[in-house]
Amino acid sequence: MMLRRLTRRTILGTACLLSFAPSLALATPATDFVSSFGGQLAHILNANTSTDKKYEELLPLLRKNVDIAGIGRYVLGRYWRVATPEQQKEYLKLFERVLLNAVTNQMGHYQDVSLQLLGSVPTPAGEKVSLIVRRPHQPDITLTTVVAGTPPKVVDLYGEGASMRMTQRSDYTAFLTRNGGKVQVMIDALRHQIADNAASRH
């Protein structure tokens, strides 16, 4: 009798808990990953430290959680095969900086943020995990990350309905097409862009 009551209470209690925490029941490895990565990112962005310090802390976090090499290859499109191994290596190194700059340039818009996971959908490119970024005194932003691989990594990010890697690919391939497909010209342009960014940061 006691056992039966306990079981009934346990079942009722568990059902009650699950009804209050639907996200718990919907959690997947991809949502757990995004939650953990997003939390670490928000922690760095919200910290009361200098921009340079944040810059230093962000790089290893991005390296660990974002498939920078995969995105870089995708972005270069058909010109990846045209590039020499040295150019590929140099390009990926610069691309990493470009990604980091893209995050740090947005830091001012992402102070005191909190994240709320909305859910996930499996797609051929990976699992799409949507989340809302809540910012004080500013409108909320809905972002969708695409997570794939083992261990899981971010392979794409959608903001305002546009895929980051696809937009970047259009940008780079158009630039290369207009410059006779010369990868070295693009590498030089990226170097300039990074130098300009560093100068405007200081």
Partner 1 sequence: MACTRSIMQRKRSKTSATRVLAGCLALLSVGACSSLRNPPPKDPEALEDYKAANDPYEPLNRKMFMVNMVAYKFALRPMGKAWRDNVPKFFRNTVDNVNETWGQPSTFFSDVGAGKPRRAGDSFMRFLINMSAGVAGFFDVASFTSYRNHTTDPGMTMGVWGIKSGPYVFLPGIGPSNFRDSIGYALGQALVPINYVPSGYGLIDFNWAYNILGDFNNFSNQIDQLDQLEHQSLDPYAFMRSAWQQKRQSDIDALKADNRATVPDWY
Return residues touching partner 1 (CB under 8 A).
Answer: 77-78, 98, 101-102, 105, 160-163, 166-175, 177-178, 186, 189-190, 193, 196-197, 200
Tell the smallest beta-carbon distance from residue 78 to partner 1 (Å): 4
Q: Toward partner 1, which CB reaches closer, 27 or 194?
A: 194
**How many Cβ atoms sit within 10 Å of the Cβ of residue 75?**
22
- Pick the closer one to partner 1 by CB: 60 or 160: 160
Nearer to partner 1, 148 or 185 (CB): 185
- C-beta closer to partner 1: residue 36 or 170: 170
CB of 148 to partner 1, least distance (A): 20
Of 34 and 186, the one with the shorter C-beta distance to partner 1 is 186
Q: Reduced to 3 states, what is the DSSP secondary structure of residue 127?
A: strand
Helix H or strand E segment including 137: none
Residue 32 C-beta: closest distance to partner 1, Å = 26
DSSP string, the chain: -HHHHHHHHHHHHHHHHHHH-HHHHH--HHHHHHHHHHHHHHHHHHSS--HHHHHHHHHHHHHHHB-HHHHHHHHHTTHHHHS-HHHHHHHHHHHHHHHHHHHHTTGGG-SS-EEEEEEEEEETTEEEEEEEEEETTEEEEEEEEEEETTTTEEEEEEETTEEHHHHHHHHHHHHHHHTTT-HHHHHHHHHHHHHHHHHHH-
Q: Minimum distance from CB of 138 to partner 1 (Å)? A: 12
* Residue nearer to partner 1 on the CB measure, 33 or 45: 45
Query: Which two tokens mark 120?
Result: 């996930």
Closest separation in Å from C-beta 161 to partner 1: 3
Could you tell me the smallest distance in angstroms from the CB atom of residue 151 to partner 1? 29
What is the SS3 assignment for 19? helix
